[in-house]
Copies of this chain bind each other. A is one copy, B any other.
Amino acid sequence: MTDKLSRQFAFLSEADKLKSVLRGTTLCDGSRRENSGEHSWHIALYAMVLAEHAERPVNIDRVIKMLLLHDLVEIDAGDNPIHGTHDPAEMELIERAAADRIFGLLPAEQCRTFRALWDEFEAAETDDAIFAKSIDRVQPVVANLETGGGTWPEYNVTAEQLETRVGVKVRRGAPALWGHLKARIDMWFEAR
C-alpha cells in the first residue's frame, strides 16, 4: 500500500507542472496567458455545464475524466496552439512518449486505465471523445471573443481557418454550441 501511495503521490506532484505550461490564449480579462492546468479545470466545468448540448448521448462522467487528463502530456510536449505551425505526425510521437512516461508513474493498473482514456480522447472516435474534443475547442474561442479577438490577430487567424480548424471539430460533437458562437465570430470578423 505504501508503494502504491508513493507512486500515486509522485504522479500527482508531477502533474503540478502542467500549471507552468502556457497556452496560446489568455484569460478572459486578457491579463495573462492561460496555463494548461487551469484550462483543464475550466473545460471540465464547460463539459459539466454544456453536457445537454452533446450531439449524441454521452457519459459525462467519462468526458470529465478525459478532460482532466487530456493535457498532461504537455508537461513534456508543450502546448501546440491550434493556429500554430507544428508537424502533427511529429507531435503525435512526442505526445505518446510523454504519455508513456507520465502515466507510467502510476501503479500499473491505474496507468492502464488512465492511458486508455487518453488514447480514446486522442483517437476521437467514441461519442464521449468526440464531445470532449468539441468542448476543448470551444473554450479558447470564448476566451478570444471575450478579449476582443484575443490572440487571433497574433496568429493571423482567418474566418475560414477558424471554420476548418475549430468549427468542424466543435460541430462534430456539439453543433448547437458552434451555431451560438458563429454569430459572435462573424460579427468580430465583419468589424475588422
Quick check: is A156 within 8 A (CB to CB) of the other chain? Answer: no
- Are B48 and A37 interface neighbours, CB within 8 A? no
- Are A143 and B45 interface neighbours, CB within 8 A? no
Q: Which of A31-65 contact B (CB under 8 A)?
A: 31, 34-35, 37-38, 40-42, 44-46, 48-50, 53, 61, 64-65
Considering the chains assembled together, what is the distance between the CA atoms of A31 and B18 in angstroms?
13
Knowing that A6-B180, A12-B46, A48-B65 are A-B contacts, what are 20 other residue pairs whose CB atoms are under 8 Å apart, sorted by A's residue number? A1-B176, A5-B53, A5-B176, A8-B49, A8-B50, A12-B42, A12-B45, A12-B139, A16-B27, A16-B28, A16-B29, A16-B143, A16-B146, A19-B27, A20-B31, A35-B38, A37-B37, A41-B68, A64-B64, A64-B68
Asked whether A38 and B61 contact (CB < 8 A) given A5-B180, A44-B68, A176-B1, the answer is no
| Inter-chain contacts of A176 with B (CB < 8 A) | 1, 5
Copies of the polypeptide in the assembly: 2
Q: Which of A98-136 contact B (CB under 8 A)?
A: 106, 110
Taking the closest CB of chain B, its distance from the CB of A148, in whole angstroms, is 14
Quick check: is A2 within 8 A (CB to CB) of the other chain? Answer: yes
Chain A interface size band reads: 35 or more
Taking the closest CB of chain B, its distance from the CB of A185, in whole angstroms, is 13
Quick check: is A94 within 8 A (CB to CB) of the other chain? Answer: no
- Are B45 and A15 interface neighbours, CB within 8 A? yes
Quick check: is A9 within 8 A (CB to CB) of the other chain? Answer: yes
Considering the chains assembled together, what is the distance between the CA atoms of A102 and B131 in angstroms?
26
Quick check: is A13 within 8 A (CB to CB) of the other chain? Answer: yes
Considering the chains assembled together, what is the distance between the CA atoms of A139 and B12 in angstroms?
9
- Are B106 and A49 interface neighbours, CB within 8 A? yes
| Inter-chain contacts of A41 with B (CB < 8 A) | 18, 37-38, 40-41, 44, 68
| Inter-chain contacts of A61 with B (CB < 8 A) | 61, 64
